[in-house]
Amino acid sequence: MTKTLIVSYTPRVGSNTKQLVDYFIDTTKDKTEITVLDLTKNAPDLLLEEKLNLYVKRNFGGVVLTEEEQQVMFKNDKMVNQVLEADFIVLASPIFNMSVPATVKAWVDVVIQAGITFTQTEMGPKGLCENKQALVLMTSGSDFNIEPLKSVNFATPLVNACFGLMGIPATNITAFGLQQYPDKIEEMLASSKKEIDFLSKKWF
């Protein structure tokens, strides 16, 4: 059976993003082995001074970390291993202020690791996770499908590029404008759920 990693950041009560990721889980749980990483309850450790320098020493300097240093990196390294073990990855997140929430960006920074999920070549970076696929489920209160917000949607391009850096092609399913068009919420969520059904049939 394939393995699917769900990375979810849906802290708001009544979250529309959570509706979509819960729908994905409910409709696919018998078809794939699902692991859920809830970033609202298990956030990555930020790459502050100690962790960043240990990462650079190990991943770029080739230095074997001591057992104590490995323990410092354990939580973040576990998140990297979750990516490596998965066949499919679903990232579910709202848009905050034209980009992804800080906790989601922290997860991205943790799992993009030199020598593990990507490597440097003479032609530039090359992903090391080429046999995986990703789905980005993203919602927003405002409509980022049209201007003036379309050109300042930095969330989906950022996530797509970061998955691409690891060699993972990403599909986007979005529901934008859920506060802007309150009379269309159910219609937009239903449309996104149909897209989830279509993609899950391709994956599983």
- Written as tens digits, the pLDDT of the chain (204 aa) is 999 999 999 999 999 999 999 999 999 999 999 999 999 999 999 999 999 999 999 999 999 999 999 999 999 999 999 999 999 999 999 999 999 999 999 999 999 999 999 999 999 999 999 899 999 999 999 999 999 999 999 999 999 999 999 999 999 999 999 999 999 999 999 999 999 999 999 999
The pLDDT assigned to 10 comes to 96
Task: Identify the pLDDT of residue 158.
Answer: 97
| pLDDT for 134 | 98
Query: What single DSSP character describes residue 58?
Result: I
**CATH value at residue 74:** 3.40.50.360
Q: Could you tell me if 59 and 112 are in contact, meaning their C-beta atoms sit under 8 angstroms apart?
A: no
Structure pTM? 0.95
63 is in which domain, residue-wise? 3-203
**Residues belonging to the chain:** 204
Q: What is the pLDDT of residue 52?
A: 96
User: Which residues pair with residue 92 across a beta bridge?
Assistant: 8, 137
Quick one: tokens of 159? 């996530």
**pLDDT value of position 32:** 98
Furthest CA-CA distance within the chain: 57
Angle (deg, nearest 10), helices 67-85 and 102-111: 100
φ and ψ of 41, to 5 deg: -110, -20
Unique residue bearing structure tokens 């405002």? 142
Number of H helices, E strands in the chain: 6, 7
Per the structure, the count of domains in the chain is 1
